[in-house]
Structure 1
Amino acid sequence: MDLVSGGERFALRPATEGDAEAAANVWLRSYDAALPSVRRAHDDDGVRAWFRYVVVPECETWVAEDGGGALAGVMVLDEAGIDQLYLEPERRGHGLGDLFVAKAKELRPGGLELWTFQVNESAHRFYLRHGFTEAERTDGSRNEEREPDVRFVWQP
């Protein structure tokens, strides 16, 4: 599916085995840029292995590929909604995240939920803009990072 964001064309498609390393690298760069104060639960090699052996082969994983063939973003869906949504840092704020959320709503028309860290205020603004509402805040004791988080929900 070709989509246009910020004047640039992207192919939004299911991830393949060959996308695992590039998708992991997008995740790593995005996480480090957006969440510099949040300790990662796994090192770079652990994240790459997680993408190679779990995320891409076992999860519903979508990628956005730019016109040059580079991955610009990755989204992972679970039964409840968006499990992961990460963009190359320079792609943030140009509409690519909007395309991913629209795809998630299309694939989960009954509603979505997601978690984000409390410190990630830009993500909060993004999801609120897309019709999500805050449903719950926790102390982070249930996530690997032990970072306080927020659950957002979207109902059509």
Structure 2
Amino acid sequence: MAPEVVLRRAEEADAGPAAEVYLRSYDAALPTVRRAHTDDEVRGWFAHVVVPSLETYVAVVDGETAGVMVLEGAGADAELAQLYLAPEWRGRGLGDRFVALAKELRPEGLRLWTFQVNERAARFYERHGFVAVERTDGAANEEREPDVRYAWRP
């Protein structure tokens, strides 16, 4: 029997599990990129900013949080600000479902940033119609890691 997967708006109780997904995903996907914040700072950010103040969605699989997505802004300024999956759920369709939801909620287009070293993410976004529009040396991000700006327009 296939697992039950639900994508839904995050609630207060989702902040802790969503932060854990972020931490585990970041460490698995970006082992060479230093995190600018401690685990506890990330947990606090999810509890006090991300879930209560931003448009945050979680993927729940058989009762366990398996992914988190954050959207910000609207219209031409819409941003896919966060998309993280638990490592064991990468490559199993959750990211595809999140991107489809993001496009449905922001039909005028989306922008996002990812680190240049994250080639897997680049391939994923390009497969979903995102195009690289800017590359930086990382001087403007907290991690000081070269990044790339992607855009999707319908």
Task: Check whether TM > 0.5.
Answer: yes
Alpha-carbon distance in structure 2 between the residues aligned to 1:16 and 1:142: 31
Q: CA deviation at 1:141?
A: 1.1
Structure 1 stretches of 4+ with a deviation exceeding 3 A read none
The CA RMSD over aligned residues, in Å, is 0.7
Superimposed CA distance per residue, residues 67-110 of structure 1 (whole angstroms, 9 cap, x where no aligned partner):
2x100000000112200000000100011100000000000000
* Partner residue in 1 for 2:110: 112
Q: CA deviation at 1:9?
A: 2.6
* Partner residue in 1 for 2:28: 33
Alpha-carbon distance in structure 1 between the residues aligned to 2:19 and 2:7: 17
The structure 2 residue matched to 1:76, chosen from 40, 63, 70, is 70
Figure out how many residues of one structure are paired with residues of the other and give that number.
149
Matches within 5 A, 1:1-156: 7-67=2-62, 69-79=63-73, 80-156=78-154
Uncovered stretches (5+) of structure 2, i.e. residues with no partner: none
TM superposition score normalised by structure 1? 0.94
Alpha-carbon distance in structure 2 between the residues aligned to 1:145 and 1:130: 26
* Partner residue in 2 for 1:3: none
Uncovered stretches (5+) of structure 1, i.e. residues with no partner: 1-6
TM superposition score normalised by structure 2? 0.95
